[in-house]
Amino acid sequence: MQSNIRPESMARITTPELANAFIEEQVAAVRAQVGDKKVLLALSGGVDSSVVAALLIKAIGKQLVCVHVNHGLMRKGESEQVIEVFGKQMDANLIYIDATDRFLDKLAGVAEPEKKRKIIGGEFIEVFAEEAEKLEGVEFLAQGTIYPDILESKDGVKAHHNVGGLPNGMTFQLVEPVMLLYKDEVRVVGEALGLPHQMVYRQPFPGPGLGVRCLGAITRDRLHALREADAILREEFDKNGLAGKVWQYFIAVPDFTSVGVRDGKRYEGWPAIIRAVNTTDAMTATIEEIPYALLYHITNRITHEVEGINRVCLDLTPKPIGTIEWE
């Protein structure tokens, strides 16, 4: 797929016209590469995998098999959006796996962040591989690799393959149609393909999902509280014009409680910590100023609407010294 052309010498995709030309070019390239064989894609619902899915559906239709694994650590409504957009609207060949219990059972009692990440990543590969083994005629693996992934991989920062490696004996040829694009270009292409704006401009979300925002050992009740509080924060940022201005905003919930009062009675609950940052490269990050009246409103909603949370705190730490995620 044009791997000999470097983005430095390419015209950047900034308009719908350029995006449509790119789409036509990649549709032809994918058809030539794949022929009548099947292509497997791990569809997370993130920007890159969603754009690749939409592009490949346009190119090869039902030859694309999308596998969406719900590990129980998605934000509120995300798996439902994947099913609605790809399963219903685009009529994709979509396999949906609700592996919530499988993941949460494996994570029970595990507090160390790196261990949690390894369990989540390893279990995802296992679930994905199990599904892949059930399919016949699949010779290609599609991935949402983008150009910064390749640069970081070349520089030794991280491995760029999204799936993270499959068990021995499972070999696929790779289909990576957006591998020469930067993230902003992927978004332009996604809009041209007709994906929902909120999906195309979805904020960055770590692979382990809410698993690294439900701090310490994950419990189902605290995970539920985190998901509900995070949904309120996102809803209020959307309504108040901050969603497009802030690069990343989320809630983290630690594994300790503090005393509070509800309905005139003592009420033990967790704190919800708001983090809202801006960055251009994720190497450094500044804190976004949130109007106090909005903070007050968000606090009021979370503490009254979310069972188990009795305080809201605001993380004012830039990067460095604090990383963007807490774990």
Average pLDDT, the chain: 91
Cβ-based neighbours of 76, under 8 Å, separated by 6 or more = 227, 228, 230, 231
Is 80 exceeded by the pLDDT of residue 319? Answer: yes
Domains 7-200 and 213-314 share a fold: no
pLDDT in tens, 191-244: 999 999 989 998 888 889 999 999 999 999 999 999 999 999 999 999 999 998
Say if CB 74 and CB 205 are below 8 A apart.
Answer: no
Mean pLDDT of 99-120: 96
**Per-residue confidence (pLDDT) for residue 2, from 0 to 100:** 46
Mean pLDDT of 40-61: 96
Mean pLDDT of 286-307: 96
**Per-residue confidence (pLDDT) for residue 152, from 0 to 100:** 67
**Per-residue confidence (pLDDT) for residue 282, from 0 to 100:** 77
**Per-residue confidence (pLDDT) for residue 153, from 0 to 100:** 64
**Per-residue confidence (pLDDT) for residue 167, from 0 to 100:** 59
What is the architecture of the domain spanning 213-314? 2-Layer Sandwich (3.30)
pLDDT band (50, 70, 90) for residue 114 = very high
Say if CB 106 and CB 193 are below 8 A apart.
Answer: no
Bridge partners of 39, per DSSP, are 64, 140
Query: Above pLDDT 70, what percent of the chain?
Result: 92
Q: Which has more pLDDT, 22 or 137?
A: 22
Query: Above pLDDT 90, what percent of the chain?
Result: 79
Closest listed residue to residue 121, CA positions, set 106, 142, 108, 133: 106
CATH superfamily of 7-200: HUPs (3.40.50.620)
pLDDT band (50, 70, 90) for residue 72 = very high
Domain residue spans of the chain: 7-200, 213-314
Mean pLDDT of 77-87: 96
**Per-residue confidence (pLDDT) for residue 6, from 0 to 100:** 59
Angle, CA 47 vertex, CA 149 and CA 53 arms, to 5° = 100
Is 70 exceeded by the pLDDT of residue 58? Answer: yes
Closest listed residue to residue 251, CA positions, set 323, 325, 198: 325
Question: Phi and psi of 194, rounded to 5°?
Answer: 90, 15
CA gap 87, 82 in Å, rounded:
7
Question: Phi and psi of 230, rounded to 5°?
Answer: -65, -40
pLDDT in tens, 139-171: 999 999 998 888 766 655 444 445 455 656 667
Question: Phi and psi of 315, rounded to 5°?
Answer: -85, 115
